[in-house]
Amino acid sequence: MCLITFAWQQADCPLVLVANRDEFFARPSQPAHWWQDRPGVYAGRDLRAGGSWLGVSRSGRIAALTNVRDPRSNRSDAQSRGQLVADFLAGDLAPGAYAQQVLRDGERYNGFNLLLADRNAMVYVGNRQSTMRSLQPGVFALSNAALDTPWPKTLSARRKLEAWLARSHPFDALPGLLQDRSLADDDRLPSTGVAHALEKALSAEFIEMPDYGTRSSTALRVDRAGSLEFVERGYQPESFDVTMTLDSFWPD
């Protein structure tokens, strides 16, 4: 994922999350589905390295990942960051304990941000600054820098989710929340080590480039009754819609 906004313990929902996945169109992947080799895991899958960018499990676990945009520090021999999502979903460590383990091994991976949640806690962990943070109730946004870095698209994403929460919009509106193609003004662009033209193209919520862009959006909500709603919508290079619900995802 490259853009995530989420609300933790707000309004009538323990968790609401909306995310856009940005990736090269040539990289093979599967939409969210139940994994045969890791029973109980429901997630999209990267078919090149075998991991995932976002998913849930029958045991009430949620994980989501973004890469840190820092091409000067990337290593070709680094381990796949998507395995961090898959291993948490299939495991039994609490979010905090798993985050501590991830930090100990953080140098094995190129830059990442990882969100981990169960019914008891939500944790953010990033390896670029060796940061771990147990999240308090609030609304947050994450892209390709640390949590709540004020990039134009993270600010707009968070504002949109706050408005959705305030107006009690239907869940069906969530997957389409982050569709703005507008590019940030030059004086608001971050400096992440890529060329100016690319930095500008990547500044949109919804990215459209010849060989890279926003391939899918995912929305999920856990309501006060503990039920989960999950929707993933694909755009390019192919369109799809998948939905899944789980009762008693976070039972009382």
Measured at the CA of 171, the angle between CA 140 and CA 212, to 5 degrees, comes to: 65
For the segment 105-131, the average pLDDT, to the nearest whole number, is 95
Q: Looking at residue 11, what is its pLDDT?
A: 75
Q: What is the pTM of this model?
A: 0.97
Tens digits of per-residue pLDDT, 202-250? Answer: 999 999 999 999 999 999 999 999 999 999 999 988 899 999 999 999 9
Helices 95-104 & 82-90 angle (0-180, nearest 10): 140
Cβ 71 vs Cβ 193: under 8 Å:
yes
Q: Looking at residue 78, what is its pLDDT?
A: 94
Q: Looking at residue 4, what is its pLDDT?
A: 98
Q: Looking at residue 32, what is its pLDDT?
A: 98
Name the token pair of 242: 């998948």
Q: Which of 71-75, 154-158, 191-195 has the highest mean pLDDT?
A: 154-158
The one-letter code for the residue type at 7 is: A
Q: Looking at residue 199, what is its pLDDT?
A: 96
Cβ 223 vs Cβ 241: under 8 Å:
no
Domains along the chain? 3-246 (3.60.60.10)
Task: Tell me what percent of the residues of the chain surpass a pLDDT of 70.
Answer: 100
For the segment 88-98, the average pLDDT, to the nearest whole number, is 98
pLDDT of 167 higher than 90: no
* DSSP helix/strand/coil, 104: helix
Tens digits of per-residue pLDDT, 127-164? Answer: 998 999 999 999 999 999 999 999 999 999 999 999 99
Strands 131-134 and 138-142: unpaired
User: In angstroms, rounded to a whole number, what is the distance separating the alpha carbons of residues 6 and 196?
Assistant: 29
